Structure 1
Amino acid sequence: MGVGLIFKIAAVGILVTILSQVLKHSGREEHAFLISLAGLILVLTWILPYIYDLFIMVQDLFQF
Protein backbone atom coordinates (compact mmCIF):
# COMPACT_ATOMS: atom_id res chain seq x y z
CA MET A 1 0.00 0.00 0.00
CA GLY A 2 1.53 3.24 -1.08
CA VAL A 3 1.39 6.64 0.47
CA GLY A 4 -0.33 7.88 -2.68
CA LEU A 5 -3.39 5.78 -1.88
CA ILE A 6 -3.64 7.34 1.57
CA PHE A 7 -3.43 10.83 0.05
CA LYS A 8 -6.13 9.95 -2.50
CA ILE A 9 -8.42 8.68 0.26
CA ALA A 10 -7.82 11.84 2.28
CA ALA A 11 -8.53 14.03 -0.77
CA VAL A 12 -11.80 12.20 -1.43
CA GLY A 13 -12.75 12.59 2.23
CA ILE A 14 -12.09 16.32 2.20
CA LEU A 15 -13.93 16.80 -1.08
CA VAL A 16 -16.94 14.77 0.04
CA THR A 17 -17.11 16.67 3.33
CA ILE A 18 -17.05 20.05 1.62
CA LEU A 19 -19.63 19.06 -0.98
CA SER A 20 -21.89 17.52 1.66
CA GLN A 21 -21.80 20.63 3.81
CA VAL A 22 -22.56 22.89 0.86
CA LEU A 23 -25.46 20.70 -0.24
CA LYS A 24 -26.87 20.41 3.30
CA HIS A 25 -26.83 24.17 3.79
CA SER A 26 -28.60 24.66 0.47
CA GLY A 27 -31.36 22.29 1.56
CA ARG A 28 -30.44 19.28 -0.56
CA GLU A 29 -29.86 16.62 2.07
CA GLU A 30 -30.66 13.81 -0.37
CA HIS A 31 -27.91 14.87 -2.73
CA ALA A 32 -25.48 15.23 0.16
CA PHE A 33 -26.24 11.66 1.20
CA LEU A 34 -25.68 10.39 -2.34
CA ILE A 35 -22.35 12.23 -2.56
CA SER A 36 -21.25 10.64 0.73
CA LEU A 37 -22.35 7.21 -0.47
CA ALA A 38 -20.49 7.65 -3.77
CA GLY A 39 -17.33 8.66 -1.92
CA LEU A 40 -17.58 5.62 0.33
CA ILE A 41 -18.06 3.27 -2.62
CA LEU A 42 -15.13 4.85 -4.47
CA VAL A 43 -12.78 4.42 -1.52
CA LEU A 44 -13.96 0.85 -0.91
CA THR A 45 -13.21 -0.07 -4.52
CA TRP A 46 -9.67 1.26 -4.05
CA ILE A 47 -9.14 -0.63 -0.78
CA LEU A 48 -10.82 -3.93 -1.72
CA PRO A 49 -7.78 -5.47 -3.50
CA TYR A 50 -5.61 -4.82 -0.43
CA ILE A 51 -8.17 -6.45 1.86
CA TYR A 52 -8.31 -9.46 -0.47
CA ASP A 53 -4.51 -9.76 -0.40
CA LEU A 54 -4.59 -9.58 3.40
CA PHE A 55 -7.08 -12.46 3.62
CA ILE A 56 -4.97 -14.53 1.21
CA MET A 57 -1.84 -13.92 3.31
CA VAL A 58 -3.64 -14.88 6.52
CA GLN A 59 -5.03 -17.99 4.86
CA ASP A 60 -1.56 -18.98 3.63
CA LEU A 61 -0.11 -18.34 7.08
CA PHE A 62 -2.48 -20.73 8.84
CA GLN A 63 -2.59 -23.36 6.11
CA PHE A 64 -0.97 -26.69 6.99
Structure 2
Amino acid sequence: MSIHIIYKIAAVGILISILTQVLKHSGRDEQAFLVSLAGLILVLLWIVPYIYELFQTVEQMFAL
Protein backbone atom coordinates (compact mmCIF):
# COMPACT_ATOMS: atom_id res chain seq x y z
CA MET A 1 0.00 0.00 0.00
CA SER A 2 1.45 3.31 -1.01
CA ILE A 3 1.14 6.68 0.63
CA HIS A 4 -0.77 7.99 -2.38
CA ILE A 5 -3.99 6.28 -1.32
CA ILE A 6 -3.82 8.08 2.02
CA TYR A 7 -3.39 11.42 0.26
CA LYS A 8 -6.32 10.64 -2.04
CA ILE A 9 -8.55 9.75 0.91
CA ALA A 10 -7.54 12.91 2.76
CA ALA A 11 -8.23 15.05 -0.32
CA VAL A 12 -11.66 13.49 -0.80
CA GLY A 13 -12.43 13.98 2.89
CA ILE A 14 -11.54 17.66 2.78
CA LEU A 15 -13.47 18.23 -0.44
CA ILE A 16 -16.54 16.38 0.82
CA SER A 17 -16.55 18.24 4.12
CA ILE A 18 -16.36 21.61 2.35
CA LEU A 19 -19.13 20.68 -0.07
CA THR A 20 -21.29 19.36 2.75
CA GLN A 21 -20.91 22.55 4.77
CA VAL A 22 -21.74 24.74 1.78
CA LEU A 23 -24.82 22.69 0.99
CA LYS A 24 -25.99 22.67 4.61
CA HIS A 25 -25.65 26.44 4.92
CA SER A 26 -27.65 26.92 1.75
CA GLY A 27 -30.47 24.78 3.14
CA ARG A 28 -29.93 21.70 1.00
CA ASP A 29 -29.54 19.08 3.69
CA GLU A 30 -30.63 16.19 1.47
CA GLN A 31 -27.99 16.96 -1.14
CA ALA A 32 -25.38 17.36 1.61
CA PHE A 33 -26.23 13.89 2.87
CA LEU A 34 -26.00 12.43 -0.64
CA VAL A 35 -22.62 14.09 -1.24
CA SER A 36 -21.20 12.69 1.99
CA LEU A 37 -22.63 9.26 1.16
CA ALA A 38 -21.07 9.38 -2.31
CA GLY A 39 -17.70 10.29 -0.78
CA LEU A 40 -17.94 7.39 1.64
CA ILE A 41 -18.79 4.95 -1.15
CA LEU A 42 -15.93 6.25 -3.28
CA VAL A 43 -13.40 5.77 -0.50
CA LEU A 44 -14.76 2.32 0.31
CA LEU A 45 -14.36 1.30 -3.32
CA TRP A 46 -10.72 2.38 -3.14
CA ILE A 47 -10.13 0.50 0.13
CA VAL A 48 -11.82 -2.83 -0.67
CA PRO A 49 -8.93 -4.25 -2.76
CA TYR A 50 -6.49 -3.55 0.07
CA ILE A 51 -8.77 -5.24 2.61
CA TYR A 52 -9.09 -8.25 0.31
CA GLU A 53 -5.31 -8.40 -0.02
CA LEU A 54 -4.98 -8.23 3.77
CA PHE A 55 -7.36 -11.15 4.26
CA GLN A 56 -5.53 -13.17 1.60
CA THR A 57 -2.22 -12.55 3.35
CA VAL A 58 -3.62 -13.55 6.74
CA GLU A 59 -5.13 -16.68 5.22
CA GLN A 60 -1.80 -17.63 3.66
CA MET A 61 0.07 -16.97 6.90
CA PHE A 62 -2.11 -19.30 8.92
CA ALA A 63 -2.75 -21.70 6.02
CA LEU A 64 -6.50 -21.72 6.57
| TM-score when normalising by structure 1 | 0.96
Root-mean-square deviation (CA), in Å? 0.9
The sequence identity of aligned pairs, in percent, is: 67
| TM-score when normalising by structure 2 | 0.96
Equivalent positions of 1:1-64 (< 5 A) are 1-63=1-63
CA-CA distance at 1:8 after TM superposition: 0.5
Q: How many residues align?
A: 64
Runs of 4+ in 1 over 4 A off after TM superposition: none
User: Gapped runs of 5+ residues in structure 1?
Assistant: none
User: Gapped runs of 5+ residues in structure 2?
Assistant: none
CA-CA distance at 1:62 after TM superposition: 1.0
Residues 4-54 of structure 1: per-residue CA shift (max 9 Å, x gap): 111000000000000000000000000000000000000001110000000
